[in-house]
Structure 1
Amino acid sequence: MKEFNIDFEYAINNDIISIADVLENIEKMKREQILEQHGDLIKHYGNEWYFRIPDKSLKNGCFRRRSKNREYIENKLCDYFIELEKRQQADKEQNTMTLKELFYEFMEYKKSKVSGGTINRMMQDWKKFYEPHTEFIHKPFVEITKIDVDNLLNDIVNERTMKDKAFKNMCGVLKQTFEYAVNAEYIDKSPYRVEVNKKKITPTRKKANEKEVFTSKERDILIKEMERRIQNDPLNAVPLAIMLDFEIGVRCGELLALKESDIISENGTSKLYIHRQVVKENNITDLENIKQIGWNVVDYTKSDCGERKIPLTPKALEYIDRIRQINVLNGNQNKGFLFLTEDGTIITRDALDGQLRRGCAYAGIPIRSMHKIRKTYASTLYQRGVSITIISKLLGHADESTTMKHYIFNLKDETETDSLVLNALSSNIITNNLTTISREEISESVTDGDNKIISFEAIKKWKTPHKQRVSH
C-alpha cells in the first residue's frame, strides 16, 4: 500500500495522471453507487420521471422533483444524497465538538467584532478559570446541561475568592460562547445560567476616600511638586499633563490623544472637544500567544457617550499654553498632538503614571494612579454643587449610577470632616434653641382679640356603622 501511494504521488507530480480526471472519476463512481442504492425511488408515470423523498428538515417535509428527462432526475437524486451526506458529516462533527473547540471557533469569529484588548481579556479569563476544568471543556458542548454549568461555576467560586466584577467577566465568557452556538444554529437553547452561592462572591464596596481621591491639601502639595519637576526639566511636558487633568478629568488615553485643534470656542467659552483616544494595540493572530505591539491613536472614545465637550478653566488654558511653548522649544509639531516627548513621539501612559507615583512618593502623600485624578475632578464638581447629571456627561459615562457609585468621594480629610459634622450639628442646636418658646412666653403674647376666638368641637374620627339585624 505504501508503494502504491508513492507511485500515485509520483504519477500526479509528473503529470502522468490528472487530478481533475481523478476527481471526475471519483464523482462518477459516487453517483453510480447512489443510483444503485436509491435508484428505485425514481418512478415513471406517463411521459414523466419523478421521485419524492421524505425530509423533515425541509419546509414542506419532503424533497421532490419531476421531469420528462430521466438523466435530469437521476442527477437531482444524486445531488440530494451527496448534500445529505455532507450535512450528516457536519452534524457528526458538530456533535463531537468539545466546548474548547467551540470557544476557539467563537473567538475567531469575535476577532472582527471587538478590540484586541477585549480578546486578550477573554483569553486570560478562559485560561485562568476554565482550562483547569479539563473534564468540562473537553466534553461535547451539545451534551452540556444546566446542571453541568451549575457544578462548574460553583467549583470555580469555591476554589478562589472572587469579586463580583471578576465573576461577571468570567461568566460572560461561557455565556457568549453558548450564545454563539445558538446563533450559529448548532443548538436550539443555551444551557447557561448562574446558580451559585452568592455568599462566596465578594461584593464591590465603595473604597475609602483616602485611597480614591486627592484631598484639597494633597492636590496643592502635588501641584507644587509637579512645578518643581518642571523647573528641574523645563522641556518635560509630563508634569503639565498631570496638572491639566485635575482641571478636565478625562481618561488617560483621551488626555494623551489631545490635539491643539480640539480646543474650541462655543458661546464665548473655551472648551475641549473629546473624540479620540490612545489604545493598546495587540497582535491577536495567534490566540495562544497574544502580544502587545504598541499603542495607537483611534478616532473614537471608550463608549458612545464618550464624545463630549468640557469647559476649560483659566488654569487649564494656562497649562495648555505652557505645553504649547514646550513643544515649540522642542521643535515638535507631530500632527498637532499636545503631549509629546522631546523626540516628537506621543507620551506613554506608563510615563504619566510613573511620574505621578514618583511625585506622590517624593511629596509624602499616598501614591495614587492617574485614574484617581479623574475621580478627584468628579468629586470636586459634586462638592461644589454641580448636578450628578452634568458630572456624568462631562466624564463621558452612559449611566449616572456609575458616576455616583464609583466616582463621587469626600475630598476632606478626617479632621476637616469631623469639624464639618460638628459645626453642622452645633448650628442645628442653635436653630432649635431660637425656635423653642416656653408656654409662659406664649401666654404672655396672647392678646384680648385672641381670647375672643370661638373654639369648635374637635372633629371626631368617622366610624363605620355596624350592621344590625332587623327583626320583623
Structure 2
Amino acid sequence: MNNVNKDAIASTPPSVFASSYHNNFKIKKLQCIVNEENKEESRDISQLNKILKSATLVSGDGGEIINMISKKKTKLVEKVYRTAHPRAKEELFYKGSDGRWKSKNPTFSAKSREELVEKLYNFFFSHTFEEVYLEWVDMRIRHGVKSNKTIQEDLTLLKNVFKNEPIAQMQITDIKKRDIKYMFERWTGPGLITRKAFVNRKSALNGVFIYAAENEYIPLNFIPSIGTTELKFKEPRHINKAFHLEDRNALLKYLKSLKQDGYTLAIQLALYSTFRVGELRAIRYEDIRGNILTLKHQLVEESVYSIDTKIMKITKAPRHINEKLPKGNSHFSVREIYLVPEALAIIEKAHELNPDGEYLFMCHGRTINNDTFNERLRKYCAGAGVPYLSSHKLRFTVASTLRAAGVDIAYLQKTLGHSNRAMTEHYIYETVAEPEGIENQLMNALSIN
C-alpha cells in the first residue's frame, strides 16, 4: 500500500475499486471518481453547448465558445482521470508505438490527444438517458439497420414520451429499476394506453439499455427483468378495417363517374387487388404480362435523419422519393398478382392517359403520393356517401372480401406478400358482409326440438 495514495483510498467508497491479483496478493486498483463538483462543471459545459446550438450567436462567437468548451473539457477530464492515477506524471496519457494516444483505467485509444479527451469526457459525463438514446438512434442510422420511417418513430418517441420523464436528464448509470417501474405505472395508470403502445415504448427503452450495456456505460440491461403483469392497459377500440361490400361497390361506381386521372384510377385498382400504396406507385406498364402483374418495387417518401451526438442536434433532410424492394421479406413480397378483367381495364386506361410516364400512375407529370392519395380517397368517400377508411384499409377490404368468397388462405398469403400465415390472418377476417340466414342458423343450433 506504500505506493498508493492512502488518503485517496481512505476517502474512496468500495464501489469505486476494481480488484486484481498479483503474486498471490490482492491489490486494489483505483477507479476514476466523478464527484458533485465535477458534475456541476460538466453541466456548465452543457450550457455552453446549448449556447453553441443557438441561432442567436453573433458571427465569430462560435469559434470562441468551441475553444472554451475544449479547454474546460480537457481540464475536467484530467482532474477526474488523476483520481485513479495520483502518481501520474504531468502527461497523464501516452502515445503508443502505433502513433495512437492511449489511456489506462479506463482504457481508450484515439488518433489524437484531443479525440482521446473527448472519448474520456463522454465516458465520464455524457451518459444521460437522452444522450444515450440519441447515440442509439445514431448507431441505427449509421449501420442502416432500420428504415427511415422507424428512425422517425424512434425520434418521435423521444420527443413526445421520454423527454417528459424524469429519467431523460438522469445519468443512465443512476437509473434504477424502480425509476422504470414507476414510469411504466404512470404510463398505464388505470388503463391510459393500449398494450401495443406500451410495447412500442418498452421496445425502444430496451434497445437503449442494450446499447448502453454493450458500450459498458452500465453493467447490464435490466429492462426485461421488470415485471409488467400487474399493469392495466386500455382496451383497443375495434374499428372495422374494411369497406362493406355495398360501400366498396358504391365507391367504385362513384369513381367511375369522375373524370379519370392517376389518382382515381389508382384507387380503383386498389379495390381490385391486395396492393400497398407504395407498390401501386411503383407499377410500370412493362411489369404486366397478360393478366399477371409482377410486383417488384415500392416507392416510399422518406426524410433522412442525421444526429450530431456531441451537441445533441438532430438534422432532418427534406423528404425524397426512393424506389425499393416491396416491404417485408423480398422472397415473399416480390410476387405475382392475378388481375381480373376490371383491373386490366383500369391499367389500360392509365396507360392511355400516361403512355410515356416512368410509372403507370402519374398526375401532372409527377408520381402519385401517399398524402394526396388519402386526401382524394377521403373526398371520394364523402362523394359516394360511404365512411372513410384510409388507403391501407383497401388492402384489408380486398383480402377479407376474397376470404369471405372462399379463396384459400395459402393463396391470400401469397398475394398479400406475407412471410407467415399469422400476419395474413390479421387481414382476412374483417366483416365485409352480414352473414345470410343468421336467424335460421341460430334457431337450428340453439332451439330444443
**After TM superposition, is the score higher than 0.5?**
yes
Kept in 2, the 8 Å contact 1:282–1:290? The answer is no
Name 1:127's counterpart in structure 2.
Answer: 159
For residue 315 of structure 1, report the CA deviation from its aligned partner. 1.4
- The total of aligned residue pairs comes to 340
Structure 2 partner of 1:87: 107
Query: CA-to-partner distance for each residue in 1:145-167, whole Å, 9 max, x for gaps?
Result: 32322222222223982112211
Distance 1:364 1:275, change over 3 A: same
Task: Report the CA distance between 1:406 and its aligned residue.
Answer: 4.4
* 1:147 partnered with 2:164: no
Q: Does 1:106 align with 2:136?
A: yes
Displacement of 1:94:
2.3
Distance in 2 between residues matched to 1:124 and 1:429, nearest whole Å:
52
Q: Distance in 1 between matches of 2:178 and 2:422?
A: 34
**CA shift in 2, pair 1:388/1:290, >3 Å:** farther
Aligned mates of 1:75, 1:170 — CA distance in 2: 44
Q: 1:202 to 1:80 in 2, by over 3 A?
A: same
Deviations 1:248-285 (A, max 9, x none): 121111111111122135xxxx3221221121221313
Q: What is the CA–CA distance in structure 1 between the aligned matches of 2:267 and 2:388, rounded to whole Å? A: 14
Classify the secondary structure of the residue corresponding to 1:111.
helix
Of 372, 376, 388, which residue of structure 2 is paired with 1:367?
Answer: 388
1:424 aligned partner, one-letter code: Q
2:202 to 171, 175, 198: 171
Counterpart contact for 2:172–2:218, Cα < 8 Å: no
Taking the aligned partners of 2:301 and 2:88, their CA distance within structure 1 comes to 60
Alignment of 1:401-416 (within 5 A): 401-413=422-434
User: CA offsets, 1:293-326, max 9 Å, x none?
Assistant: 2341322122113222111111111111111111
Q: How does 1:25-424 map to 2 (within 5 A)?
A: 83-84=103-104, 87=107, 93-96=122-125, 97-112=127-142, 113=144, 114-133=146-165, 135-158=166-189, 161-193=192-224, 194-196=226-228, 199-204=231-236, 207-208=238-239, 211-229=240-258, 233-234=259-260, 236-264=261-289, 270-285=291-306, 291=316, 293-304=318-329, 305-328=332-355, 333-335=356-358, 337-341=359-363, 343-413=364-434, 417=435, 419-424=436-441
User: Is this contact kept in 2: 1:120–1:290, CA < 8 A?
Assistant: no
Amino acid at match of 1:299: K
The one-letter code matched in structure 2 to 1:179 is I
**Partner of 1:272: helix, strand, or coil?**
strand
Mark the runs of 5 or more structure 2 residues left unpaired by the alignment.
1-84, 109-116
Instruction: State the alpha-carbon separation in 2 of the partners of residues 409 and 241 from structure 1.
Output: 23
Check 1:149–1:429 CA distance in 2 against 1; reply closer, same or farther (3 A cut). Answer: closer
Q: Cα distance 1:37–1:394, how it changes in 2: closer, same or farther (>3 A)?
A: closer
| Residue identity opposite 2:174 in structure 1 | E
2:345 and 2:195 mapped to 1: Cα distance? 43
Relative to the length of structure 2, the TM-score reads: 0.68
Residue identity matched to 1:247: Y
Distance 1:105 1:312 in 2: 47
Q: Is the 8 A contact 1:163 1:204 kept in 2?
A: yes
- Per-residue deviation, 1:173: 1.5
Higher radius of gyration, 1 or 2: 1
**Closer, same or farther in 2 for the Cα pair 1:105/1:136, shift >3 Å?**
same
CA gap of 1:75–1:411, structure 2 versus 1, over 3 A, is: closer
Decide whether aligned partners of structure 1 residues 406 and 164 sit closer, same or farther in structure 2, where only a CA change above 3 A counts.
farther
Deviation at 1:241, TM superposition (A): 0.9
Cα deviations across residues 7-41 of structure 1 (Å, max 9, x unaligned)? xxxxxxxxxxxxxxxxxxxxxxxxxxx9x969xxx
* 3-state secondary structure, aligned to 1:297: strand
Offset of residue 191 of structure 1: 2.0
SS of aligned partner of 2:306: coil
Q: Is the 8 A contact 1:276 1:297 kept in 2?
A: no
Q: Distance in 1 between matches of 2:96 and 2:150?
A: 47
Q: CA deviation at 1:224?
A: 1.0
What is the CA RMSD across the aligned residues, in angstroms?
3.2
CA distance in 1 between counterparts of 2:137 and 2:386 reads 44
Q: Quote the Cα distance in structure 2 between the aligned partners of 1:76 and 1:288.
A: 34
Partners in 2 of 1:301 and 1:87 — Cα distance? 45
1:428-451 Cα distance to aligned partner (Å, 9 max, x none)? 799x99xxxxxxxxxxxxxxxxxx
Within 2, Cα distance between the matches of 1:239 and 1:110? 38
Counterpart code for 1:177: V
Distance 2:313 2:344 in 1: 47
- Match of 1:334, SS state, is coil
Change in Cα spacing, 1:247 to 1:406, as seen in structure 2 (3 Å) is: closer
As a proportion of its length, which structure holds more helix?
Answer: 1
Q: Percent identity?
A: 25
Q: Please state how far the C-alpha of 1:351 moved relative to its aligned partner.
A: 2.3
Tell me, in whole angstroms, the C-alpha distance in 1 between the residues paired with 2:147 and 2:214: 21
Cα gap change, 1:365/1:198 in structure 2, threshold over 3 Å: closer, same or farther?
Answer: farther
Unaligned runs of 5+ in 1: 1-33, 39-73, 434-472
Q: Check the 8 A contact 2:95/2:102 in 1, yes or no.
A: no
Q: CA deviation at 1:361?
A: 0.9
Q: What is the TM-score normalised by the length of structure 1?
A: 0.64
Q: Provide the secondary structure at the position in 2 that maps to 1:212.
A: coil
